[in-house]
Amino acid sequence: MKIIKAIFSKTGIVLAACITFSAVNAQKAFTVKGNLGKDKQGKIRMHYKDGDKYTADSTQIKDGVFVLKGTIGDPAQATIVLNPSNPNAWSTTRQSLADDQLNFFLEAGTTTITGKQDLKTAVATGGKAQKDYAYIISLYEPLNIENRKLNELGAKYRKEQNDTALTRLKNLDKVLKQKRLDTDSTFIANNSDSYLAFITSFKKELKGKALNFKVDESRFNHFTKEVRNSNAGKTIAARLTVAKNIDLGATAPDFTLNDTLGNSVKLSSLRGKYVLVWFWHSMIMGNDSQIFNVSKAYKKIDNKKFTVLGVSYERQEQMKEDKNYETEVKNTWKKLIKDNNMNWLNVSDYGGLNLKTGDPVSSVSKAYDLNYANIPQCVLVDPTGKIVLRAHADNDLLSKLKKIIGE
């Protein structure tokens, strides 16, 4: 039993590696100045993610001195490496992770990296984002120590096949994770002017997690205007606008898509019944429980009151205008429906999500704030067209539906 797997990185947490948002604000100039031990020679490489753009740059280090310049939108976590072992800046092999490197927060203005010897013991000094980053890493350090101790004990107990001790460690791991959440919560509450606090607060939502308007609007408004006007802030603001339109009590955005026979189906044409709109994609086929839970609801609830509308988003290998390719994808979709006894009404929003980013492309996916990170998901529409439930197809789905429908 593995207790903990890289909850924290060696130099702190990797806060922004997978966070994606459009870089729409003006780019601002930055300079990174380094001064290490005079024996340091060779190559310096820096990589970071600016919005949805991965960027890597390099320069020479001579007698321990180097300078890197560029432009950036929002602050971003950057990694700087001395004489990297792998030409791929995004490599996470054991060897590349063992390189002499330093994580810091890159932002507009000047950042200085100073140290008497190597990078890993150097100190980065910059603007507010870097100050906040250094502060939160200092808060995590005691947790990192606990984490390492638990990992060491976990390895020992697995070797001894001591299940009792492993169970005890698992409970300690839960306590450690809660400490981490409490640390984050305190940092967020006390730093409304911090960009780092903002992306910590909305970390999952910036990766695509669905927003709850009533809950998340106040969380968003906790932060200052300057933070809300960052690229990340504008991304969340735009998604909150959509979330308001699909909040409980709102009229479900209407749409028309084609079913398996090529016939047009309009959501509003199904009014008079409760309609469970199930947004899904073929990647869930390894999780039969979701299909089972939707099927159970479809079979158990009176079809005079209730029906299911499946809306599929297929992860095509590429978006082609080749009709033969589209036909092949749709035939695969129909086969999945047949093989899994998904006997309700099914429609396809072919090409509705961007394959590379997972972001919404079609009018339907935009209206319901869909992306590959937050589907499958269910939206229950009442007989008048109002949204009365948003949920996952989990084991409690049937009881949730019966409570609303009245069975």
Predicted structure pTM score:
0.85
Q: Judge whether residue 4 has pLDDT over 70.
A: no
Give me the residue spans of the domains in the chain.
Answer: 1-205, 256-405
The mean pLDDT value for 5-34 works out to 60
- Of 52, 115, 55, 114, the residue nearest 79 (C-alpha): 55
Instruction: Report whether pLDDT(93) > 80.
Output: no
The predicted structure's pLDDT at residue 2? 40
> Domain spanning 256-405 has what CATH number?
3.40.30.10
Question: Bridge-partner residues for 53, per DSSP?
Answer: 50
Cα–Cα nearest to 85, from 37, 35, 49, 42: 42
Res 91 pLDDT > 80? no
pLDDT higher than threshold 50 for residue 12? no
pLDDT of res. 359: 87
> What are the residues facing 181 on neighbouring strands?
none
In the prediction, which pLDDT does 6 show? 37
Q: Return the minimum-mean-pLDDT range out of 54-58, 94-98, 383-387, 394-398.
A: 94-98
Confidence label for 328 from pLDDT (cuts 50, 70 and 90): confident
In this predicted model, what pLDDT tens digit does every residue of 231-265 receive, in sequence order?
Answer: 999 999 999 999 999 999 999 999 999 999 999 99
| pLDDT value of position 354 | 86
At 210-231, the pLDDT tens digits run 999 999 999 999 999 999 999 9
Q: Which of 132, 169, 174 is nearest to 151 (CA)?
A: 169
DSSP secondary-structure letter at 12?
B
Rounded to the nearest integer, the mean pLDDT of the chain is: 89
Cα–Cα distance, 228 to 198 (Å, whole number) = 8
Q: Per residue, what are the HEC states of 113-153?
A: EECCCCCCCCEEECCHHHHHHHHHHHHHHHHHHHHHHHHHH
Integer Cα distance of 271 and 264 in angstroms = 16
Question: What percentage of residues in the chain have a pLDDT greater than 90?
Answer: 73
Pick from 153-167, 285-299, 312-326, 376-390: least confident: 312-326
**Can you give the pLDDT at residue 20?**
54
* CB of 181 closer than 8 Å to CB of 158: no
pLDDT value of position 316: 54
Q: Pick from 61, 118, 62, 54: which is nearest to 88 by CA?
A: 54
Find the mean pLDDT for residues 352-368: 90
pLDDT of 1 strictly over 90: no
319 has pLDDT over 60? no
Confidence of residue 21 (pLDDT cuts 50, 70, 90): low
Q: Is the pLDDT of residue 317 over 60?
A: no
Taking the C-alpha atoms of residue 92 and residue 95, their distance in angstroms, rounded to an integer, is 8
| Lookup: tokens for 264 | 């047009």
d(CA 279, CA 312): 6
pLDDT of residue 25: 60
pLDDT digits (tens, 9 = 90+) for 118-135: 899 999 999 999 999 999
Instruction: Evaluate if residue 11 carries a pLDDT over 50.
Output: no
pLDDT band at residue 158, thresholds of 50, 70 and 90? very high
pLDDT of residue 286: 59
> In the prediction, which pLDDT does 318 show?
46
Look at residue 16 in the predicted model and tell me its pLDDT.
Answer: 45
Band the pLDDT of 269: cuts 50, 70, 90.
very high
Least confident of 5-9, 280-284, 329-333, 392-396: 5-9
40 burial via Cβ count (<10 Å: 0-12, 13-18, 19+):
buried
